[in-house]
Amino acid sequence: MAEAALALTCAYPDAALLARYQADGDVLWRSGSRGFYSRLFDSRPGALQIWRSVSLMRQVRDELAVLADRLEGRERVVADRAALLVAHAVFQLIGGDGIDEPGDDWEARGQDAVKRTTEVVIALTAHLNARYGQHAFLTRILRDEQACQHLVTDILQTLRHGAGRPLVVPPRPNRGRRPNTVPFLVQHRLIDDGAQVIYRPSTATERDAVSEWLGGDPERFLATWVNDTRKPLIWALDGQRYSPSGLVLQIWDRANWAEQPAAVQGTTRWHVPGEGTLADLAGELLADLEAAGDGPGVE
């Protein structure tokens, strides 16, 4: 159901819905003005429409997974992080006519559109740079309704008028080690001192193990960021400072998770509201610096 709802959101003509989802995933399931469940399901989409939507979204993601591994800089960031917006643009290239009708016409149009995924990535990157600059933070843009609408309009105009430039995909780069997330974020002061960060479990098992304990007090999943390379999180519950992984392990202990893993990548659990995880922020910053020829000199 979650994948079907997300695919229908990608297929929806208005990119603003996708931006709202990327800012708050729960809007998929809300009715009324605060959500768009009714927009997706009140018309009772048929099984064929749902399946074709899911299938197309998967195909675009598969194309992007192959493509992203062979790109560098800004284009790699777009392929990695803007997959849903790319899928939305591919849906708009096809159009919805006939999606719920048996036969091969829509399937053939869909295959042709998926083959243009690379062109969509190139066009999206070009218009992102033109509208917002080469170093604009992509995570913020993808949560902005008007920005997403403008970008999709730009992409479709470019591709429908044949103005997209061809992409010569480079050989797979020999990537070295990425810099450690926390020191890298602190070095570039990407997060302000005093910014709030929120713990979010990343798996269903983790969520089930800790959700009851977390629900007992909102301070249990809140922390404040300070630009310190070792312990940048001040836990709201006790005022003590922790590393991202150390605080996740502390939460697991307090929640009495008996089968907790021995280690955790804490930077994937702590979110800056409206921005992404610590790992997301570091990854996007690294790609931007590499695109500008000013990378951190990783091996």
> CA 236 to CA 143: how far, in whole Å?
27
- Point out which residues pair with 190 in neighbouring strands: none
Distance between first and last Cα of the chain: 43
> CA 112 to CA 114: how far, in whole Å?
6
pLDDT of residue 166: 45
Show Cβ contacts of residue 29 under 8 Å, excluding neighbours closer than 6 positions. 5, 35, 37
Alpha carbon 127 to chain centroid, angstroms: 19
Nearest to 67 by CA among 168, 142, 175: 168
pLDDT of residue 220: 94
pLDDT of residue 170: 46
| Pair 265, 279: CB distance under 8 Å | yes
Instruction: List Cα–Cα distances, 282 to 181, 205, 219, 226, in angstroms.
Output: 6, 26, 25, 16
Nearest to 125 by CA among 169, 81, 70: 81
Which helix (H) or strand (E) covers residue 276, if one does?
strand 276-277
> CA 260 to CA 264: how far, in whole Å?
9
Give residue limits of the domains in the chain: 2-160, 184-280
Instruction: List Cα–Cα distances, 265 to 31, 189, 197, in angstroms.
Output: 35, 21, 16
- Point out which residues pair with 197 in neighbouring strands: 223
Q: What is the DSSP string of 238-290?
A: T--EE-HHHHHHHHHHHTT-TT--S---GGGTEEETTTEEHHHHHHHHHHHHH
Instruction: Give, as one character, the DSSP assignment of residue 192.
Output: -
Read off the amino acid at residue 225. Answer: W
Please give the average pLDDT of every successive group of 10 residues along the chain, which has 299 residues: 84 86 76 64 76 88 82 79 90 82 79 87 89 80 91 90 51 58 90 94 88 92 94 95 93 91 86 85 78 50
pLDDT of residue 291: 62
Nearest to 254 by CA among 216, 205, 226, 197: 216
With the CA atoms of 19, 165, 283 and 262 taken in that order, what torsion angle do they form, in degrees rounded to the nearest 10?
90
In terms of Cβ atoms closer than 10 Å to its own Cβ (0-12, 13-18, 19+), residue 17 is buried
Alpha carbon 259 to chain centroid, angstroms: 29
State phi, psi for 211 to the nearest 5 degrees: -60, -40
Instruction: List Cα–Cα distances, 174 to 170, 235, 293, in angstroms.
Output: 11, 39, 16
pLDDT of residue 24: 77
Query: What would the two tokens of residue 182 be?
Result: 């926390």
State whether residue 7 is helix, strand or coil: helix
